[in-house]
């Protein structure tokens, strides 16, 4: 579970940077719990920081998945630029 909004924002930013740079974004970083990772992906999709990303599954379950070929949107780029950390 995230301990602060700063920790959540950093995770969102890290995922967005990976999408922007064409790097792997579907792999959960080892320091994150799976639910936290998918919560961040869901937040990204819901806020339309990227397009062509889908996140599905049951909350609080290991049967969650993410897919698509995401592309950055202006709000996603703005989030990256606004994040200080």
Quick one: average pLDDT of 19-28?
A: 86
Question: Average pLDDT, stretch 78-84?
Answer: 89
By CB neighbour count within 10 A (0-12 exposed, 13-18 middle, 19+ buried), where does 25 fall?
buried
pTM value is 0.83
User: Tokens standing for 25?
Assistant: 């974004």
Q: Which CATH number fits domain 5-82: 2.40.50, 1.10.10, 1.10.3470, 1.10.260?
A: 1.10.10
Q: What is the DSSP letter of 70?
A: E
Distance CA 83, CA 59 (A): 27
Please state the domain extents for the chain: 5-82
65, 42 contact by CB (below 8 A): no
Q: Is the pLDDT of residue 62 over 70?
A: no
Q: How many other C-beta atoms lie within 10 A of the C-beta of residue 65?
A: 11
Query: Which of the two residues, 16 and 55, has the higher pLDDT score?
Result: 16
Place of tokens 């922007």: 20
Higher pLDDT residue, 54 or 18?
18
Q: Looking at residue 28, what is its pLDDT?
A: 82
């Amino acid at each position: 579970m995230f301990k602060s909004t700063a920790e959540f924002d950093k995770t969102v930013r890290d995922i967005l940077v990976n999408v922007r740079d064409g790097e792997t974004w579907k792999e959960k970083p080892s320091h994150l719990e799976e639910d936290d990772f998918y919560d961040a992906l869901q937040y990204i999709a819901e806020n339309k920081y990227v397009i062509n990303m889908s996140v599905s599954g049951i909350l609080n379950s290991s049967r969650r998945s993410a897919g698509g070929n995401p592309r950055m949107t202006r709000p996603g780029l703005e989030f990256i630029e606004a994040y200080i950390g």
